[in-house]
Amino acid sequence: MVHHISSGQLKIAKVFTHKVADTHKKYVDTEKNILAALDGLFPFTIGLHFLAKDPERLYLIMPLVPGGNLFDLLYAKGPLGEQSTLFYSSQVVLALEFLHATGFVHRDLKPENLFIDANGYLRLADFGMVKMIGRGRTYTFCGTPEYMAPEIITFKGYGQSVDFWSLGVLIYELNVGRTPFEGSDVREVFENALNINFRLDNNFSPQLKSLLQRMLEVDLSKRYGNLKNGILDIKKHPWFRPINWLLIINQKMEAPLKPNIEFFQYGINRKETEFVDF
């Protein structure tokens, strides 16, 4: 967290040493450029306010998202249940719809990259693995193993459909508290994903079971999000029926959790601040 002196605002910073930034220049530049391009364009993606650097580090300065990320929320509270998962995943659906419409594929969708804003809504972050592919294909082996689609694992080339697989994994995890294809090592995780070896919890509603079976599908000709109707098959699925998409995009639906903003205001007013000043 950083304090922007001229505006008096709190912001967050992603920090790279210059050595790391130079070594991973391609990914740092990609994230910097995409964050800058997305700033202010869509409510459920995070943007870049400005860059800062000192002799040792490079800082990507972004708006404050005081609620932490969904991984931390899962760790603190355990499984979120279908109602909260429905609320959060609806925003991820809209964020992916926006990114895909602009030609991007995210390739690293997971709870750690979804942050809770001051109003309790999500912001998709971490664009280091994002790539512009349009409706084409790419072959780069990348991502987080538990969320990687089979077509990435098998080096077959892939398109935006990999994000829908990751969304299915995310929805499962938010409901259960663990990923569906977990294993003792990466090899076992990949084998479980390729063989669709996962268990549908008995507490899942029939609608949720139906959606997961259609999203965690190896056959791309059957995977929801990749069919003729695209992402509309997901948005119109019975599990999402309670969602009013207009209320969600305008952030008018009550969020299940809102961060305590007073904590951050207390921090900036302390004499011995823990924040970096710019």
Q: Is pLDDT of 101 > 80?
A: yes
Model pTM score: 0.90
Average pLDDT over residues 78-102: 96
What are the structural domain ranges in the chain? 2-66+260-277, 70-249
**Band of the pLDDT at 92, cuts 50, 70, 90?**
very high
Please identify which of the residues 22, 39, 54, 108 carries the catalytic annotation.
108
Residue 213 host element (H or E): helix 206-215
Query: Is 70-249 in the same CATH topology as 2-66+260-277?
Result: no
Mean pLDDT of the chain: 90
CATH assignment, 70-249: 1.10.510.10
Write out the E strands in 112-185: 114-116, 122-124, 131-132
What is the maximum alpha-carbon separation in the chain? 60
Bridge partners (DSSP) of residue 13 are: 61
Active site residue 108: yes
10-51 pLDDT, tens digit per residue, is 888 899 999 888 888 888 888 898 889 888 889 999 999 888
Alpha helices in 51-157 (DSSP H): 70-77, 81-101, 150-153
Instruction: Report the share of the chain in percent with pLDDT over 90.
Output: 68
- How far apart CA 112 and CA 124 sit, in angstroms, is 10
What topology does CATH give the domain 2-66+260-277?
Answer: Phosphorylase Kinase; domain 1 (3.30.200)
